[in-house]
Each structure stands twice: as C-alpha cells, then as structure tokens.
Structure 1
Amino acid sequence: MEDEFILFKKFDDAVLADTLIDLLEKHDIAFQVEETLISGNSAAMDGQQKHYIVKIHPDDVLMANQAITEQQQEDTQLLSEDPHLAAFTNAELTEVISQEDEKGSADYQMAQKILVGRGAHINDDTLPTHPQDSLSDLSAQQPKHTTRIIIGYFAALLGGVLGILIGWNLSSHKRLLPNGKQVYAYSEADRQQGRQITWLGIIVVILLVIYRIYKAL
C-alpha cells in the first residue's frame, strides 16, 4: 500500500538518486521513487530541475542506513588501494565516465562515486560529446622540444649529470590519462634524442672521473 512507504532520501540530482536505488536493489530493500518539479522554478520543465524522492518501508530504514555506511567504507577502502582517481579533477573524472564502452569497469564506477561525493551534478550536458576524440587529444604527444634538447646536449657535454636528467626525462616521461592509461609525453624523435643525451652524459661523467683519478696519481 502507498502509506506503507515513508520518505527516506530526497535529491535534486538523478545520479545521486540512481546511486541509492542501485544500493537498495542490491540489498533487496523495497522502495518507491517519485519525481516532483521544483516549485516556483519555470526552468523545471526542461527535465533538469526536479526533486527525486526515495521512499522505503519504516522497518527497512535501519537496514538501508547500514547498507549506506558499508558502501561508504568500501568506497574509502577502494580509494586507499587505488588513489590515482582521487587526485583527478572533476573534468578528468567526467572524461572517465564518458567512456560508454567502459561503464562496467571499476574506474567508471569509482569516478562516478567520487563525483557524487564531491557534490558534482552529472548529466548529458556535462559529458563530453566526443569522448574518444578528447582522449585522443590528451594522448597526443607534446610538440618537438628543440630548446630542451639543445640544453640537454650542452649540459651533458659540460658536466654530465644535468644532461643525464634531461635526457632521462625526454626518453621516459609519461602522462596519465583520465582513463588510467599512461602514454609517453614526448614524440619518438624526442625520446631518441633523450636516449642519446643520457648516454652522452654518462660517457662524459665516466671520462671526468677517469681524468680526475689520472690527475690524482
């Protein structure tokens, strides 16, 4: 009967309501959902300004609160085990959840929970229109770094150590994409130059050590 259900939670974000509904279904807790327009708001008719009211039986309130607490603890544990998503900005997290072919992935689920926890509103308007294109742009390597390469060669010839560091950075530095994938930050040509700078710096350091040992004899 209708009067057997009481107000449990009220949201103005469909994602927040869906998250709770998924949790209630997981624990076999009966519920009802009502959508009401926010009074006095003419923009409500666009479907974005609504209240989502979740009702459950009075006897299930304790069980539902316990389920929420356990889920929060589980989410906290997952973040502690894999904290890289926690460091993402809201825009980067939105990029993760925009990958429609990855909705079943742990990253997708966790990114959505982090955004919800931050109070971010998630809807079709906030998701990138072409997520794959956006990721392609992010994964594109940086343009040629001629100045850094020249400095690296000079540093390698003058003392070695700084040149080694610059060369190592050019040859191996990677960037983390919002979907968790790592890509090289520099082009293959720049990475090749970086490897050459690194080896040049190592050779110069070895020669300097040999020279100082020879002078000390």
Structure 2
Amino acid sequence: MMIELEKYQSGQELDDVVRLLEINDFEYEIENIIPDFDPSFSGKRPLELFSLKVKRSDISQINELLTSEAAKFDYNQIPSDYYLIQFTNEELLDVLLKPDEWSREDYRLSQLILEKRGKVITDDMLQKMKDKRLKDLRQPEKFDIDFTWWLNIFLGSVSAGLWSIYLSWGHLTLKKTLPNGEQVYVYDASSRNNAERMLWISILITIIWVIVLAFRVI
C-alpha cells in the first residue's frame, strides 16, 4: 500500500528525492495536487503541489536515507540571506521539534545555525524531540455532537440523513499518518463511539424518511 511521504512545491526538490529513491530501488508514485481555487488570489493560478507516495514498509528506510543525505549540508552552504538566519534560537528549536512541518534541508540547516551560535545539539536531544513530536501527534482529537446536528437529522430530509451518515462515518474511521508511517485514529475512542451511535441513528432516520416519502408518492 502506498502512503504519502511528503508534499513538495518545488519540482527540482522532488526530482532530487526521486533520484535517490530510484538509485536505492524504492518504489514510488507521484500525484499532482492542485489546491481549490481561492478568490482571494484575484485570479492567480493556485500553487501546484506534488505528493510523493511510497510503500508503508519502506518509510523508515527512506526517512533514514533522506536524513543522511540532508546531513551532508554544512554551514558554509547556507546563503547569507537565507530566511532561517533571521530566526531566533527558540524558533530554530521549534523547527527541530516539528520536523514534519519543514523540509529535511531546513531541519539540518537549523541544527547548523544553532551550533554556529554555540548551542550544543546532540543526537540524543534530537531523538527526544522526535519522540515527543510523535507522542504529540498521536494524541487524538475530540469532537462533540451539538444539538443542531440532531435537529437537522430529525427535521431535515433524506439528503440531510445521507450527509449525516457521511460525516459520522468519516469521524468514526478517519486516520492520519505519522512521520514514521504509523497510522492512528484522528478522534479519540469516546468521540468514535459517539460517531458510531450517530451513524446508526442516521441510517435509521434516513430509512424512515425514505419510507415516508415512498408512501407520499403512493
């Protein structure tokens, strides 16, 4: 099964990663993603993204490969006007704490800049940061079913019932993929239990609405 490894805005950056994958015989797929049109851009073409997908079983090896490649950067390769140079130490540490939100190059360059400023960044520190980030990302979200949702189901129509089935099924089954390839539920057990109850009630109400409409037609 193919899952998303990363998204890229730069075709050149994507090409560099793909070249590494091909050299090391990793299978991959590329999907072009064109974001929905945003009127605020005043007719400008939406920025195209590239989603790179790989086998779930290869995630760890590929992450190690790309991390080792990024480790080849040294401080002298950082342009003097590179935006990370303007970051405070706290902001650079935040980059290290959330590597999934940054490119591997920025992750590595943040280390180098901090070290240049006299901050000691050890492998043990980096591993603890990654472990903490994974722990934070594993934390499920909660959602509450408000009164208006139930009101729409009971007083709505067949389309409202079908929409409720769709939403409750999504809340019940939705998962997210962590940087290490692990998949976890987005919502906590209590929220998923509520979604399951809502799913069955929505199905029942929808069936009732269909029967009522069928008798009206007859």
What interval of TM-score do these two structures reach, taking the shorter chain for normalisation?
0.3 to 0.5
Alignment TM-score, normalising by the size of structure 2: 0.48
Greater gyration radius: 1
